[in-house]
Structures are given as C-alpha cells and as structure tokens.
Structure 1
Amino acid sequence: MKFGVNYTPRAHWFHHWVDFDASEVARDFDTIAELGADHMRVFPLWPVFQPNPSFVSPTALGHLDTLLSLAAERGLGVSLDGLQGHLSSYDFLPSWMLSWHDRNMFTDQYAIDATALFVRELAKVASAHDNVFAFTLGNEINQFTGGVHPFPHPATTSDIDAWFDAMFAAVGEGAPGLSQNHACYDAAWYDDTQPFTLEHVAQRGDLSIVHSWVFNGTAQKYGPDAFETRAHARYMMGIARAFHVDPKRQIWAQELGTPRNVLPKESVPGFIESTVEQVLSAPDVFGITWWCSHDVSRSLADYPELEYDLGLIDEHGNIKPEGRMVAEAVKEYSGKVISPTRDIELDLDALGGRRALAPGGAFFTRYMEEAREHGHPRIVLPGRSGY
C-alpha cells in the first residue's frame, strides 16, 4: 500500500520548470520524506517541455532527470505524469495546438503524433530511474472534451480509444514494462456526454485511477460532515471496480484533498480520518496520493482561493496539522480490510445513465443509504456475479 503526495513545488509552483533550482527541489523532497510519504506524482509542464511539435527540450528533460535522481536519493518513488495539460484551474497547452495552429488534441493526427513524441521522450527519461514506478498520461485530460470547457476538444468514445492506443504505445516504446495509466476527473463517472467512459477508467491502463473532490456538489448538497461527503472517494472506487474485467486489477486513489471552499477548518480532521479509513478498507486498493504536497504561495496571483491551502506543507516549508493527520490516518488504517457487506446491482440502462451515479442521483442515494446502514456494499453489473 503506497502513501504519497502530488508534488506542488514550494518555490514558484509548477513554473519552477522555467527557473529550475535543484536545491529548492531537494529541500521540498526532504520535507516530503519527513512527512512519511513513500512516493510523489510529478508534473512536467507541457509547453515548457515541448515548445514545438518536433522539439522536446533537452534542458527541460535534464531538469526532470535531476529531479528523479533527487527523489531516489531520499527513497521516494515517482509516478510521472505526461500531459499538463490542466492544473489547478490553469490550462497548459503548447502554442502549436492553439489559435493560428488550432488542433484537436484527440482527433488531429498531426497533434497526436507530436504528443506521442513528447510522451515517448518523457518515458525514456523515466526508464533510466528505478524509482519511477508508473506513468500517467495526464492530469484529468478528459476535462478538455467537456462542454464546460471554454475551448473544448470534442471527441467520440472511439476517438478516445484510438488516442489511448497511440499514447500507451508511446509510453511502452520509451519505457517498456513501466505501469501505464490515465486519470479522469469525475465527469467520466457522472456525465453521459463524456467520451471518456467508466469502461475507460476500469479497463484501459494498468490501474483504475480515482480523483475524488467533494466540491463537485457532494459537500454542497449533503454538508461538510455528512456520511456522503466522507464516503465519496470509497463510492467512486466501488463504481470503478464494478466495471473491472480483471479480478486482480487495483484501484489508486490518486487525488484526495480537503478543499476549504466546502470543508471548514473544523470539518477537516473528521473528513481526513473517515475518508482515509474508508479508502484503505476497500478491496484492491493500490494506494493514496494526497493533493497536494505544498500550498501555493500567496505571492502567486489569480488562483482560486482554495488552491492556496490544499497542501500538507505550507508555503514556508512547515508540515501543517493536516499533514500530520493524513500521515497518522494512513499509518493507522493501512492494511485494514473490511469485506463488502452484500451486493448491490448497478443497471445504468434502467437508471437512465451515468447521471444516476452523481451526487443526489438515484443510484448514489440508494448506495449511500445501504452503506450508512450496513457498510459499503459490493457493486455488481447485471449479468455479472462480481468477484
């Protein structure tokens, strides 16, 4: 069972790739190791690393190589993300995909080939480091396909399948044998218009990835201290598992956090303890990677307010009470397994699609009533017995 953090550099946030300082990174990693984490998720900024479709910066790749070595020196594993893409309300797409060069990243073959080059070069760097244990294609890349995006990249489910084929092939060429994954935000669970589907979550890549954020309407509807709010991550894991076809497939809670826009300070301890306990008692859990390591510095402008206080370590390098809480909760509940109490059937066709899974939806309501009363059930699809 892994416990780690999504690495958000203390100095200059992800803009540190532009002004890279190995001593600052080493200082961050020392504190992350002190926190008790065994791994980090690391995010190269796409426009910095690939400013031209045929050019991936050797300087940027060299900085990544240095960062991975610094992590290894401190006994920290690394999961490398590819396409950033989107981070903390900002999009980071290269200029060769925008405006005069407007291309759809999922359907334009030129863009797909260029993106595959970038992914392959990142994977090559990763392959030289034994502490790199996984490669995720990008951070919630499905948000670019949604109607909520101001400049969407529309695609069909078949388009996404072909895009996965190209991207995973590129990872395999660069780093044969490295665990390959992709990460969606919860629209893949709850939005019928999303071309990224639950089958993609549960069947593409080597692990099922869950990013659970309760500002998605859960905490607003049920309250910060409600069972539904604290059980949301565990619920998403159960949905993903229902769509598995490989009984040995594991689930990675890759993003969990305590957003203060919906969780007041007094609700944070209970949320952390209950969420971690429920996640770690789920079947087939791979690990937890908390969002995030460090607070965004107040010297940086124009972030949503919640982003400045999501870290387990503050902008001055001090481990916050939340950091101690998460580390202690992981230590206390790691290895504790509670078998699901009974089966509960999920028939999306009968329920009217993925919207029934969303907070307040028919299946969400039924599941939470069952889980509150009897403990988390095992979700099975019609015609499947589950495992």
Structure 2
Amino acid sequence: MRDALRFGANYTPTRGWFHHWLDFDLAEVRADLDSIAGLGLDHVRVFPLWPLFQPNRALVRPRAVEQLVALADAAGERGLDVAVDGLQRHLSSFDFLPAWTRTWHRRSLFADPAVLAGQEEYLRTLAGALADRPNFLGMTVGNEVNQFSDGPHPDPDRVTPEQAAAWLERMLAACEAGAPGRFHVHAEDDAVWYRDGHPFTGAQAARLGAATAVDAWVFNGTAQRYGPTGAATEHHAAYLVELAKAYADGPGRPVWLQEVGAPAPLIAPDGAARFTEATLVNVLDCPDVWGVTWWCSHDVSRELADFPELEYGLGLLTNERRVKPAGQVVARIAAACRDRERAAGRRPPEVRATALVADVGGARTAPRRSVCAPGGAVFEAWARLTAEGVRPAVVLSDRAADRGHLTARGITELVRTTDVL
C-alpha cells in the first residue's frame, strides 16, 4: 500500500469525543476502529490531548503514552495505519493548552525556550513510543497550531515568519529524532494560503516536512459565497491542493488532504453525499495527492455541550456507528480506487498543463496572498476556468518566467486573472 492512494478518517471517538483519554476504554476504541475499517479505509489520524498527556512541562504521562500505543496496536490489528497529531492546541472550536503555558505561567508557545524544550520532549516521546510499530505513519506536529499566532484568535502569541519557520523546523526535528524516517508533517488552517500578514506561510507549508498538509473547509466563506453546489465549493479542496503545489520547491512533492468535511447547514445533510463525491472526484484529478483523510470518523454525541452546530454531524458514521450516506460514498470511491490499483497499478492523473498565475507578492511571505482567498481575483479566476472545463494548475508570478520550473511541472500555457475576469 506504500504507493497506493490513501483513504482514511480523522478518528473522533464515539464515547466522550477526545475527552475519552480521561476514561480510556480499549473495548470502545476497538469497536470504533472496527466501524472505520468496515468502510475499507486504510488509516486513521488520532489526537492525544496535549494537556492530558503533558500536564507538567517535566511530565509526559507514561500511562497516557501506553494508551496511545494500545490504540495504535488495535488499529494495526484491523489493517489501519496510524498518524498521530502531537500538540493538540485547537480542536472543533476548543483550545487545549497545558497550564504551564497560560495565565500565571504565560509564555510564548512559539518562542519561549522552556516551552520549546517541553514541546520537543513531548513530540520526541510520542514518536519514540511508536517508532517500532509497523503501522505508524508518522507525526503531525499539531492541529492548526498556527491559529495561536495571529487573529482572529482572541489571545494570540505573536511571532514573525522567521520565528514560525524556526519553530516548525525544531518541532519536526524532534519528531524525526523520536522516529527516524517516518512521514512527519505539520498542518495549518487556510490562513497560510489566504490571510495577508499571517506569520505561518505557504512556503513553510510546502517546503518543510515530508508532505504538504492541506485543511480544506468550505465554511471559510466559500459555501456562503458560491452556494453548496457551486463549482468553487465542490472544487475548493482541489483548488487548495493546486495552490499548495505552487509554493513547493519542485514537482512531485506529495500533498495530503488532511482535513475536509461537509459542514451543516452550509452543506445540508441531504447534500452531504453529493458534496463528498464531488470533492473526492475533483481532488483525485490533481497530480501528487498522497491521500485524503476525511473529517471525521463519527459524529459528536448530542450529549456533549457547546460545540458549534456544524461539528455534531460531520462523521462518516453516526455516534451509534451506523454508516451515513457520505460514509457510503467514501467507502465506494476508496474501494474503486483500490480495485483499479490492484488491476493496473496506480496511474496518476494527467498533468495540468494550463496554469493560472497568482501574484501573492513573493513566495517567502506572500504579503498579498488574500488574492487567493474566496472572493479574490485568483480564486474567482480559478473557479471560472474550472466551471468552463479547464483543469488549471497554479503558478506563482515570481516563477512565471522560469522556464525550467514550468517545464518540470508540465506547464505549457499561462493564464492571467485579467484574461479571465
């Protein structure tokens, strides 16, 4: 399966959500994993809660680490590989920060030497505990940790792009020290691609780590502006994959669609299956996709309070582990891809020879990256071309005259936004 297209789910436990680590029940975990494996998926992404695993800077709880390893082993017994997110600071609208970083102990999450050393030890410990497990894919540094560096977070730890890059490099090195040679990545939300002045950048996303991770949510203004069935909405994940590739140093870097889901009510429950199918079909038409990890495996129980409404129904399965229509779509497409690969090997999509030029002000800090956001000129032009049947890639303007770069990517035609809008 190493060279196969990967299909997985972000594992949301049916009992207690991610608070299940407080009352860890391996039998319940096994039942959840059975239902995920029943969809024909090949991996899960799992989320240790940082404050529960490292409640003190000098204490990574051995029992919590043992439970993580037990979960990974249970997944392996069911044919599921495991990717582990380390520094869980933000999940489904809630922040998870240990007390040794807040209030009386307030220190920068990205720049304080003591905090950095504690984070390193934590990531190295988790990776090291799983390093000998054959089904361990690797670490993700954390889930959308960039949110803590900038607005709209209500209490951000401000950093420069240089500090953000140094932090990422140090955390990735800690993962590598714990489990050498694994698939270690970092993941941010779409501010890296869309928000002017954000210290985490597309260049960092596309050049650090083993792959570029993309989180593609249409509640960012896409579904609101273009509607649930608009071309821009159904191709949003594919657009982000292609935009991410524009920042890479060269062709062939894998892109992992690490989060994508059908958020209600912007995507109505009776339209979730259509959105899921369209999103997957369009993403799978992009070269260099490593895999798709759907958000999420199971619905959040209505017994839990204070989640945004859209969070409760994002699962491929219900909280009672029944397969939903979107889950049926993912299972069908995953099975069809697997069957094709077994019969003829993996055949990548055709190269996208037409590229839309994006002037973000230079790849390093992209001061004008908002042109790529919903409503921006690049986004609008890409969506219009796609609706007309074109398969556009994206090339940054500072590389548009680099013939070697274009040739390496198979790009033979450049289109400017002014040619389209």
Q: Give the TM-score range, shorter chain.
A: over 0.9
> In the superposition, relative to structure 1, how do residues 251 and 75 fare at CA in structure 2: closer, same or farther (>3 Å)?
same
Whether 1:275 aligns to 2:279 is yes
Deviates more, 1:278-287 or 1:324-333: 324-333
Task: Give the stretch that moved more between structures: 334-343 or 133-142.
Answer: 334-343
Name the residue aligned to 2:240.
236
The residue type paired with residue 268 of structure 1 is A
CA 297–353 in structure 1, closer or farther in 2 if over 3 Å, else same: same
Q: How many Å separate the matches in 1 of 2:332 and 2:173?
A: 39
String of CA shifts for 1:296-325, please: whole Å, max 9, x gaps.
111111111111100011111111122111
Question: 2:268 & 2:34 partners in 1: Cα distance?
Answer: 29
For residues 267 and 18 of structure 1, the distance between their equivalents in structure 2, rounded to whole angstroms, comes to: 35
Deviation at 1:134, TM superposition (A): 2.1
Does the aligned pair in 1 maintain the 2:87–2:143 contact within 8 Å?
A: yes
* Structure 2 unaligned regions, length at least 5: 339-346, 410-421
Q: Give the fraction of aligned pairs with identical amino acids, expressed as a percent.
A: 45
Q: CA offsets per residue over residues 248-269 of structure 1, 9 Å max, x none?
A: 3110111110001311123222
Question: Are 1:310 and 2:328 an aligned pair?
Answer: no
Alignment of 1:1-387 (within 5 A): 1-332=5-336, 337-349=349-361, 353-381=368-396, 382-384=400-402, 385-386=405-406, 387=409
CA contact (8 A) 1:276 1:333 kept: no
Give the drift of 1:343. Answer: 2.2
Cα displacement string for residues 91-125 of structure 1 (whole angstroms, at most 9, x for unaligned residues): 00000001000011001111111111111111111
Q: 1:223 to 1:46 in 2, by over 3 A?
A: same
What is the RMSD of the two structures over their aligned residues, measured on CA atoms?
Answer: 1.5
Residue 7 of structure 1 aligns to which amino acid in structure 2?
A: Y
State the alpha-carbon separation in 2 of the partners of residues 265 and 28 from structure 1: 22
Q: Secondary structure in 2 aligned to 1:201?
A: helix
Q: How far apart, CA to CA, are the structure 2 residues paired with 1:134 and 1:275?
A: 26
AA paired with 1:248? G
Question: Does 61-70 or 163-172 show the bigger shift?
Answer: 163-172
The offset of 1:37, in angstroms, is: 0.6
What secondary structure is seen at the aligned counterpart in 2 of 1:211? Answer: strand
State the aligned residue count.
387
Decide whether the 8 Å contact of 1:296 with 1:307 is kept in 2.
yes
Output the amino acid matched with 1:44.
P
Alignment partner of 2:184: what SS? strand
Check conservation: 1:253, 1:289, Cα contact below 8 A: yes
Distance (whole Å) between structure 2 residues aligned to residue 310 and residue 108 of structure 1: 36
Alpha-carbon distance in structure 2 between the residues aligned to 1:326 and 1:210: 18
State the 1:341 CA deviation.
4.6
CA spacing shift, 1:67–1:304, aligned 2, 3 Å: same
Displacement after TM superposition at 1:383 (Å): 3.1
**TM-score for the superposition, normalised by structure 1:** 0.97
Measured in 2, the distance between the counterparts of 1:267 and 1:101 equals 46
SS of the aligned residue for 2:38 comes to helix
Residue type at the aligned position of 1:367: W
Look up the match of 2:415. none
Cα distance change of structure 1 residues 328 and 44 upon mapping to structure 2, 3 Å threshold: same
> Contact 1:215/1:261 (CA < 8 Å) preserved in 2?
no
* Alignment gaps of 5+ in structure 1: none
Which amino acid counterpart does residue 15 of structure 1 have in structure 2? Answer: H
| CA displacement, residues 75-100 of structure 1 (integer Å, 9 cap, x when unaligned) | 10011111101100000000000100
